[in-house]
Structures are given as structure tokens and as C-alpha cells.
Structure 1
């Protein structure tokens, strides 16, 4: 199974020998590839919608895999899992806030997990903050460009650590430390977003009087400084 660059970046972060789940599996490509690449011994491919569920079942059949290797399940979030059934969960292609809601909605499942591989479409800052507030910490991050868009991939493991600064939560603490080739493009995209927010707030006297206005101004300046490294 050939994966696009985004999904392969997720697969690269999955620990060798893990028992994994791909939540919101869509066509089941990641789940199948984890078995074929020898990353996981067992994968649950879960999706809450009937169409993707059926598509994932076809992908598994076409790749001649057994239920004992990839179990395709219809259900919402982590509800497709039993406590302790897997040690690693991958969630990709949805907002960071929705990811936190999924993790919070099944505490008995989340409590047994060791590793999270997350690819938020937005809300990455809020997601990173949630991880540190709930006894997770980020051990690695990567950036990948696929179809003209930059994606952030986050690998988190169980264990409390000091929470990074707000700017590091926005940029990515491990990304800033590693400084991968796409980092400047990533910061430029974040800067564009923050400037757009600032420009909108500047049109309203009420917004300019809110403390968030000052926070956004400082964030814009800090991002501009980071581009100078």
C-alpha cells in the first residue's frame, strides 16, 4: 500500500510492534500500510460514517488481510475500542479541538494509551496545550507538504512535562528545536493567519479594547522575530 506523504508521515511516527488504531480511517489506507510495513501487529480502523467504513473494508479485502490483522469497525471516536486493546492511536484530518473532544469522551480508553499520533487540520496550538494539561508530552513533530498544503504531525507520549510557552505551542516545540526545511514556510503561514486576525480586530474599537488584541499583536511580533533565525 503506497501512502501519500501526509499519511506516511503518520506511519513513520508509529512505534515498531505497536497495537494501533486509526480513528476516522476513511479508506483504511493507513491501517493497511501499518501492517504491510511491519509497524504494527494489529490495527483497528474505525470510522463513524458508513461510506468510509465500507471503503475501509474493501481496502482490507483487496490487500488480503485478516480480521486478526486489521479490524474495521463502525463507531464514533474511541468508542470502537476496548480498554487496553491498543497502545497507540492515530487521528488525522480533523480539527485539534475535535481531537481533544474524542480523547476526552472515552477516558477509560485514553487512560490505557501510550502513544498518540495526531495530524490536526487546525487548532494545533489548542491541541498541544491540551496534551500538556492532561499528562501527555510531545516527543516529536514533523512537517510535510502534500497537494500544496503544509501539515503538522505530532507524536505525544504519556507523562507530565513542563508546558511550553504559548508561542512554542503555536509553532510546535519540537519543530522549533529541530528546524526542519519547511519550518519557515510553516511560520509564514502562522504569521499570515495572525495578521489576518489582527487586521480584523483593528477595525473594531471594542475588539481593540480586549486583552486578546494585545496578545495577537505580541504574537505577530514574536513570529516575525522567529523568521529571522
Structure 2
């Protein structure tokens, strides 16, 4: 099955020989590819909605992979038992929702070795949560698909020092690897901060606030990273 650049990057971060939970599987494209390419030995493809799960079920049956791909209607990881899988993929949802899903199933998450995450927003908060909960960012990628840029993270179980706030926002491994899209990624982050600063500049009270000074200083730091 041909995956777009986003799903391909996610698939590339799944360790070979994994037992995977593809949460929010949609039509099951990722689950099918992981098994067909021999990356995963077994996949639980879950979704909270009946429609996508029915489409995934049809695709799995058509591919003759019902023994290797189990389909479950589930909200997050609630219906996945501890040690049933060792890798979880979460993609196409907000970082805050990912934190909520992972926090709601501590017994299952504790037994995982790898997380593959593609947050739609709140990436900094997600990275911070990972480091506070005995995970660290092992690898990251930036990809472009359908005119949008996506951040993909591979997190591994283990305790490492938490990166500074700027690196949590940029992505510590993105900064280390410096992929071609990195400068554009930093420019997008800068634009958001600059818009926030412009909004505060409309008020004299806001301009005297601590938040204004912090935002201005943060922009200067981001600009320094952009100019590497």
C-alpha cells in the first residue's frame, strides 16, 4: 500500500518486530502497511468511531490479514491490556489529547518501549510531558504532505535530562539533525510568537506586562536558532 509522506514517516519510526497499537487507525492504512512490509508482527487497529473501523475491517479482510491485525472499537488505550503491545502510534490528533490518552492508561503505557507520535499542535507540551514521565525523544522528522508540514516523534522509554524550552518547541532531535524543513519549521513557530506580541502591542498595559517581556525575549532566542 502506498502511504503519503506523513504516514510513511510514522511507519519508518516503528521498530522492526514490534507489536503495535495503531490508535485512531482511520481506514487502517498504517496497520496494513506495517504488517505487509514485515515491520510489525501484530497490530491492534483501534478507533472510537464505527465508520472508520468498518472500513479498516473490510481492508484487513480483503488483504487476508485478520490473524495479524485485530480491530477494536476503543477510546484511546482503554481496551488495550498491559504487555499486549510494545509500541503505540498516535497520529493526526492534538498533543493535548495524546497526553490525555497516555495518562488514562498508565498500566499499559508503563509496559511500552516505543511511542510514535504525530501531534497536530501542542508539540512542545507533549515533549515536556514525555520527559516528565520517563520518556525521551529518540528521533524526529519533518515532512510535508498536502501542503502542510508535520512533526513526527519517536519516543523511547528512559530517563534523560529535559531539554530547554526552545528545544522542546523546535524538537531536540530536529535541532540535532537539522533536516531541510527545519528553518521553515522555526519560521512558523516565530510567526505565532510574533502575532502574539503584535496583539499585546495594542495595549499599553500589556506592553508593561511580564508576559510581553518574556515573549519578546523568546522571539529573540528563536531568531538566533533560525540563524544557525
Q: TM exceeds 0.5?
A: yes
Per-residue deviation, 1:110: 0.7
C-alpha separation in 1, matches of 2:83 and 2:47: 19
Q: Which runs of 5+ in 2 are unaligned?
A: none
Per-residue deviation, 1:214: 2.3
C-alpha separation in 1, matches of 2:224 and 2:108: 41
Q: TM-score, normalised by structure 1?
A: 0.96
Q: Which runs of 4+ in 1 moved over 4 A?
A: none
Per-residue deviation, 1:212: 2.7
C-alpha separation in 1, matches of 2:43 and 2:215: 42
Q: Where does residue 32 of structure 2 map in the other structure? A: 32
Q: Matched residue of 1:22: which SS?
A: strand
C-alpha separation in 2, matches of 1:180 and 1:208: 36
Per-residue deviation, 1:80: 2.4
C-alpha separation in 2, matches of 1:59 and 1:12: 21
C-alpha separation in 1, matches of 2:208 and 2:95: 28
Q: TM-score, normalised by structure 2?
A: 0.97
Q: Where does residue 2 of structure 1 map in the other structure? A: 2
C-alpha separation in 1, matches of 2:43 and 2:31: 6
Q: Where does residue 60 of structure 1 map in the other structure? A: 60
Per-residue deviation, 1:211: 2.8
Q: Matched residue of 1:141: which SS?
A: strand
C-alpha separation in 1, matches of 2:82 and 2:129: 21
How many residues are aligned here?
228
C-alpha separation in 1, matches of 2:64 and 2:212: 56
Matches within 5 A, 1:141-152: 141-152=140-151
Deviations 1:85-143 (A, max 9, x none): 00000000011111001000011111111100000010000000000011100000000
